[in-house]
Structure 1
Amino acid sequence: MKLAVGSTNPVKVDAVERTLEPYEPTVVAVDVDSGVGEQPWSIEETVAGAENRARRALAATDADYGVGLEGGVARLEGVPGLSLIMWGAVTDGDRLERGSGPALRLPDSVAERVDAGAELGPVMDDLLGTDGLAESEGAAGALTAGLTDRTRALGEAVACSIGPFLTAYYGGDD
């Protein structure tokens, strides 16, 4: 199974490799534009970024599947505050499937800065005194005391978006 990941971020590539390890994947990182802002601000925008990455990665390679992963923030109905969200999309060129990773409420002090226009990654780096948190444990790792991390959280989005291609339950329905 050959997959093109629409990002050169090592965490995103690792999430695909680790999640699909039983399938012995060949994974290629492709630098593509998500087509959305650096800080996606809704489920719709985050999903669109993942979809764009998946389509563009597949188009740039001879892979079997294009995979797009996108993190964003959103106000979720019935959930207080601002949440970190993660979405994945997978395409084989005909079908496009989507799946989410976990959602995590952001601390109010972080949410206030993001609401004011700051990007989550730099806000978290400032809060923690780190540099490049988004390319390591990510906000998910820092905010769960290491119970999960960005790789595992994005891996859930990979599993949920590629699952329909790996099982017979969907039968190609959209």
Structure 2
Amino acid sequence: MRLAVGSGNPVKRRAVERAVETTVDAEVEAVPVDSGVSEQPRGREETVAGAKNRAANALAAGEYELGVGLEGGVAEIEGADGLFLIMWVAVTDGERVGLGSGPSFRLPDAIGDRVAAGEELGPVMDDVLGEDDVARKQGAAGALSAGVVDRDDALAAGVAAAMGPFVTERY
């Protein structure tokens, strides 16, 4: 099965490979596509829209059975204080769409305040950690969990959830 991941980020491709390695025989290809949302999606609705757009655009980019879109965003969560990192995944075959999400991480106030003021999370994490390209390495998830959950793991959980309609008969 050929899967297109709607991103050139190697972390997202690895997350898809990890999520499907025991369920389907898959060839996973990274296909940079437009998300159709802002660089820093805000709120669950925009983040889900970005994932869906990436999945559809990846599927349309070639001869693939499934398109996979992974989108990270930030959101306020009802009943919880602060700003959270959120991750949503969409998988489509052109007719059906499966959705899933990775874990959410509350951003420390010093980071959340900067993002709420309009900065993007990736560059803020680079600045706070004194590293380059954190989003292509451990991600904020790795930094905020002391490495217990890295970005690959967090996104793979969302991919596994979104793949449900395509790997089981339960849907």
- Report TM bin, short chain: over 0.9
CA distance in 2, matches of 1:65, 1:164: 12
Q: Does 1:9 align with 2:9?
A: yes
Please state how far the C-alpha of 1:31 moved relative to its aligned partner. Answer: 1.1
Please state how far the C-alpha of 1:24 moved relative to its aligned partner. Answer: 2.9
CA distance in 2, matches of 1:38, 1:156: 23
CA distance in 1, matches of 2:39, 2:119: 10
Please state how far the C-alpha of 1:11 moved relative to its aligned partner. Answer: 0.2
CA distance in 2, matches of 1:45, 1:62: 27
Opposite residue 125 of structure 2, the aligned amino acid is M
Opposite residue 31 of structure 1, the aligned amino acid is P
Q: Does 1:21 align with 2:18?
A: no
Q: How does 1:19-168 map to 2 (within 5 A)?
A: 19-22=19-22, 23-168=24-169
CA distance in 2, matches of 1:169, 1:20: 17
SS at match of 2:88: strand
Please state how far the C-alpha of 1:164 moved relative to its aligned partner. Answer: 1.7
Please state how far the C-alpha of 1:97 moved relative to its aligned partner. Answer: 1.4
Opposite residue 5 of structure 1, the aligned amino acid is V
TM-score by length of 2: 0.98
SS at match of 2:163: helix
CA distance in 2, matches of 1:126, 1:99: 30
TM-score by length of 1: 0.96
CA distance in 2, matches of 1:29, 1:133: 19
CA distance in 2, matches of 1:74, 1:132: 22
CA distance in 2, matches of 1:18, 1:90: 15
CA distance in 2, matches of 1:61, 1:160: 24
Please state how far the C-alpha of 1:163 moved relative to its aligned partner. Answer: 1.1
CA distance in 1, matches of 2:32, 2:93: 18
- Greater Cα shift, 43-52 or 15-24: 15-24
CA distance in 2, matches of 1:9, 1:46: 17
The Cα offsets for residues 49-68 of structure 1, whole Å up to 9 and x where unpaired, read as: 00000000001111110000
- Contiguous gaps of at least 5 residues in structure 1: none
Task: Quote the sequence identity (%).
Answer: 62
CA distance in 1, matches of 2:161, 2:20: 12
CA distance in 2, matches of 1:81, 1:45: 18
